[in-house]
Amino acid sequence: MSPRTENQFQSLRKSRKDRIMETALELFASEGYHSVSISQIAVKAEMSKGLLYNYFPSKEELLNAILVLGLEKIHDILARIEDELDTPEELLIYIRGGFQTMKKETEFYKLYFGLLFQPGISDHIKEKYQDFANHMTQDIAFYFKSKGDPNPDEKAMLLEATIDAVGRHYLMSPESVDLDKMEKIIFELFK
C-alpha cells in the first residue's frame, strides 16, 4: 500500500473531525453537555480517546467548535441579504432562513437552547458570542429604523424572542408546530 497523498490525509482528517463533531453534537443535545464524557464520544465515533484528543484537546474546545460552526450557519442567513436588512422581502428571508436552518440543524438548536440554561455554560456562551448576537440584533433593528419605528431595538429583540420561542416549541414537539405557517404569521406581525 502506498503512502497517502496530502489531499487524502487532509480528507481523512476532515472526515474524522466532522464525525467527532457530529457525534458530540448528538450526545450533547440528547444527554446534556455535562453528562457526556470524551470517552463516550470516542466510543460512539468509533475511535480511540487519544485520537479524539488529537483533534480536540478538551471537551470545551469541542463544544466551542460545534457552536462556532452552528453560529456560522445562522450567520449565513444574514449573508443572503444584500447590504442592510431594510425591506420586507429581506425580513422574510431572515425569518424563513431561521426556520429552515432550525429544521435542518435540529440537533444544534437543541444543544444551543439547552446550553443557555446550564449553569456555567450559559455565561461562557454569552461571553464568547455576545458580539455575534449584538450584530444580529443591530441588523434587525436597522429594518425597523428604516421604517421609522419609534422602538427599533426593542422591536428587533421582540422579533428574535418570538422566533426563539416558536423554535423551542418546534424542537420539543415538531409535529405540533407548522413552521411554514408560523413564518407567515410572524412576517405579517412584524413587516
pLDDT digits (tens, 9 = 90+) for 132-141: 778 888 889 9
Q: Is the model's pLDDT at 124 over the cut of 90?
A: no
Q: What's the pLDDT tens digit per position in 140-155? A: 999 999 999 999 999 9
Q: Domains in the chain, ordered, with CATH?
A: 1-57 (1.10.10.60), 64-190 (1.10.357.10)
Q: Is the model's pLDDT at 167 over the cut of 90?
A: yes
pLDDT score, position 2: 67
**AA identity, residue 166:** V
pLDDT score, position 6: 81
User: What is the percent of the chain where pLDDT is above 70?
Assistant: 95
DSSP E strand stretches across 111-186: none
Helix extents (H) in 5-104: 6-31, 38-44, 49-55, 59-79, 88-104
The pTM assigned to this predicted structure is 0.79
pLDDT score, position 70: 84
Q: Which helix (H) or strand (E) holds 188?
A: helix 179-190
Sort 5 into a burial class: Cβ within 10 Å, 0-12 / 13-18 / 19+: exposed
Q: What's the pLDDT tens digit per position in 50-94? A: 999 999 999 989 998 998 888 888 777 767 776 778 899 999 998
Is there a contact between 71 and 174 (Cβ–Cβ < 8 Å)?
A: no
pLDDT score, position 54: 95
- Compute the Cα dihedral for 75, 80, 85, 89 and give only its sign: negative
Average pLDDT, the chain: 88
